[in-house]
């Protein structure tokens, strides 16, 4: 039966001064499919209530803890309770919260890295299968139209067989011991208990791994990594240099860093096949460069009719005409709109549009954890080259 209403969203995390929760809230409402009805917004219950007031939410649905959210929302009639909950807390909370939400029957949108380790990730994969709930993971960089175009250009064989992938993600914001000043985002990211076994690798290395695998359709099977904590006293890596192999035929370089002074959010990828190459820069996301040997470079621009002819997914992920830049918020919204369409199809008891299934999944979350496990094993080892356990 047709669901004649917006989907009801809840949120865990995203309290006052938090970074990504507000991005989720703006992105989720962009397409008029989702409305935020409540949440447990902060580890401090008083700040959760404060956030609820700032957002003009019904105070009866602003909770002190995620456990209270699950208990009270589950007690509401089916037609009133939250349809899904977005988890926007530090990494250590993702697993227990997502697990409890799935077990209580909620669909889940979760921030990356999905869990703290492979064991937890496998448990979430198992639970998603068992509960038949929809699970989205916020690897937002695959939400960009030109990244979807890049993926479809590779899939069509325009580059030929892929040989080489270079993905880099330098930032500079942790060049000094920011965590010692009490800065919220730096404090938990540099604490192994809250962040996980790898700092920079988990925080942005998983984005680089996900982007490379999404565009190429290949899986990293083996890697050789060096992890460094450059800032004195820092307990987790702030710089990662890594050689990667995608099976036997393609190789590449993945480097991510949070001490590359002066860099902002300089994620970029180059993919080279036997016939041609492509290049995409997150800081100039509306363009995709196509390079053919002995020919001038082509700059493909988002929003033009020729894009839709090559990629329905890129066309679907575009809201504005060419020359009107779209970026970070829209990429998040693209994951939300596909996730929401899939949840809506589930609630209406029908199959989703295949294009709507294009959002990062629990399986992608497991890939991220396998990547981190292998990264850490390689960094600690003498032989260096280390295979994924699969
Ligand atoms: P943050 O420190 O800015 O905010 C975290 C919020 O979670 C705070 O409000 C905190 O009080 C709240 N919180 C902590 N534990 C909680 C709990 N048990 N229950 C309820 N609320 C709780 O962190 P952030 O930078 O927004 O990062 C949050 C998550 O988002 C991290 O997993 C991070 O890796 C991810 N992230 C993803 C992207 C992206 O591009 N996809 C960007 C930034 C952060």
From 40, 44, 87, 90, give the residue whose CB has the most ligand 1 atoms within 8 Å, as the site to mutate: 90
Average pLDDT value for residue range 334-360: 98
The predicted pLDDT at position 390 comes to 73
Per the prediction, the chain carries an average pLDDT of: 98
The per-residue pLDDT for range 299-339, each reduced to its tens digit, is 999 999 999 999 999 999 999 999 999 999 999 999 999 99
Average pLDDT over residues 32-43: 98
Architecture of domain 7-141+333-360: 3-Layer(aba) Sandwich (3.40)
Residue 174 DSSP label? T
pLDDT in tens, 159-199: 999 999 999 999 999 999 999 999 999 999 999 999 999 99
**Range of lowest pLDDT (1-5, 100-104, 250-254, 357-361):** 1-5
User: Ligand 1: which of 18, 174, 336 to mutate, judged by most atoms within 8 Å of the beta carbon?
Assistant: 18
Look at residue 79 in the predicted model and tell me its pLDDT: 85
CA count, 13 A, side-chain hemisphere, 307: 26
For ligand 1, atom 40, the nearest C-alpha belongs to 140
* C-alpha to C-alpha distances, 87 to 41, 115, 216, 259, 349, nearest whole angstrom: 10, 11, 28, 27, 25
Mean pLDDT to the nearest integer, 144-165:
98
- Residues in contact with ligand 1 (CB, 6 Å cut-off): 12-15, 18-21, 40, 42-43, 66, 88-91, 93, 111-112, 138, 140, 184-185, 188, 203
Share of the chain above pLDDT 90, in %: 99
In this structure, the chain runs to a length of 390
Q: Show Cβ contacts of residue 154 under 8 Å, excluding neighbours closer than 6 positions.
A: 162, 215, 216, 217, 271, 273, 278
In tens, the pLDDT along 107-127 reads 999 999 999 999 999 999 999
pLDDT at 239: 98
Residue 348 pLDDT > 80: yes
CA 16 – ligand 1 centroid, Å: 11
Question: What was the pLDDT predicted at 168?
Answer: 98
Ligand 1 centre to CA of 220 (Å) is: 28
Q: Is 58 exposed, middle or buried (0-12, 13-18, 19+ CB in 10 A)?
A: exposed
Q: What is the pLDDT of residue 165?
A: 98
Q: Which residues contact 284 (CB under 8 A, 6 or more apart)?
A: none
Q: How many angstroms does the Cα of residue 106 sit away from the middle of ligand 1? A: 20
**Paired strand residues for 44:** none
User: Which residue among 89, 137, 143, 258 has the greatest number of ligand 1 atoms within 8 angstroms of its CB, and so is best to mutate?
Assistant: 89
**Residue 222 clears pLDDT 90, i.e. is over it:** yes
Residue-level pLDDT at 70: 98
pLDDT at position 78, please?
85
Q: Tell me if domain 7-141+333-360 and domain 144-323+369-380 are identical in fold.
A: no
Query: How do residues 256-301 score in pLDDT, each as one tens digit?
Result: 999 999 999 999 999 999 999 999 999 999 999 999 999 999 999 9
Q: Name the CATH topology of 144-323+369-380.
A: Dihydrodipicolinate Reductase; domain 2 (3.30.360)
Tell me the domain boundaries of the chain.
Answer: 7-141+333-360, 144-323+369-380
Per-residue pLDDT band at 1 (split at 50, 70, 90): confident
* pTM for this model (two decimals): 0.98
Query: Residue 360's pLDDT band (boundaries 50, 70, 90)?
Result: very high
Edge-to-edge strands, sheet with 268-273: 298-301, 287-292, 276-281, 268-273, 162-170, 250-257, 239-246, 222-228, 386-387
- pLDDT number for residue 281: 98
Tell the burial category of 175 from Cβ atoms under 10 Å away from its Cβ (0-12, 13-18, 19+): middle
Tally the C-alpha atoms within 13 A of residue 194's C-alpha that lie toward its C-beta: 11
CA of 86 to the centre of ligand 1 (A): 11
């Amino acid at each position: 039966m047709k669901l004649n209403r917006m989907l009801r969203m809840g949120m865990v995390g995203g309290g006052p001064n938090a970074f990504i929760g507000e991005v989720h809230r703006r992105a989720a409402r962009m397409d008029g499919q989702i409305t935020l009805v409540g949440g447990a917004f902060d580890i401090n219950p008083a700040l959760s209530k404060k956030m609820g007031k700032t957002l003009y939410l019904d105070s009866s649905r602003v909770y002190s803890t995620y456990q209270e959210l699950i208990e009270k929302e589950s007690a509401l009639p089916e037609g009133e309770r939250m349809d899904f909950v977005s988890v926007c807390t530090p990494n250590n909370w993702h697993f227990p919260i997502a697990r409890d939400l799935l077990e209580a029957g909620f669909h889940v949108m979760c921030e990356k890295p999905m869990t703290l380790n492979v064991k937890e990730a496998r448990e979430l994969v198992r639970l998603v299968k068992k509960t038949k709930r929809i699970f989205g993971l916020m690897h937002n960089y695959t939400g960009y139209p030109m990244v979807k175009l890049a993926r479809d250009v590779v899939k069509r064989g325009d580059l030929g067989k892929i040989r080489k992938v270079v993905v880099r993600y330098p930032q500079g914001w942790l060049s000094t011991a920011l965590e010692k000043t009490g800065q919220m985002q730096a404090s938990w990211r540099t604490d192994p208990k809250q962040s996980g076994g790898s700092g920079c690798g988990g925080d942005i290395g998983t984005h680089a791994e996900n982007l490379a695998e999404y565009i190429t359709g290949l899986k990293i099977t083996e890697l050789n990594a060096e992890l460094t904590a450059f800032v004195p006293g820092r307990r987790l890596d702030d710089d990662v240099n890594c050689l990667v192999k995608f099976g036997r035929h393609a190789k590449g370089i993945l480097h991510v860093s949070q001490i590359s002074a002066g860099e902002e959010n300089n994620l970029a990828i180059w993919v080279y096949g036997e016939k041609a190459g492509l290049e995409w820069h997150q800081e100039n996301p509306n363009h995709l460069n196509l390079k053919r040997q002995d020919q001038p470079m082509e700059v493909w621009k988002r929003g033009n009719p020729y894009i839709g002819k090559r990629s329905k997914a890129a066309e679907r992920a575009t809201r504005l005409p060419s020359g009107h830049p779209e970026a970070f918020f829209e990429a998040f919204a693209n994951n939300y709109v596909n996730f929401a369409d899939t949840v809506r199809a589930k609630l209406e008891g029908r199959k989703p549009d295949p294009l709507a299934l294009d959002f990062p999944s629990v399986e992608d979350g497991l890939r991220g954890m396998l990547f981190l496990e292998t990264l850490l094993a390689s960094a600690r080892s003498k032989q260096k080259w280390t295979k994924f356990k699969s």
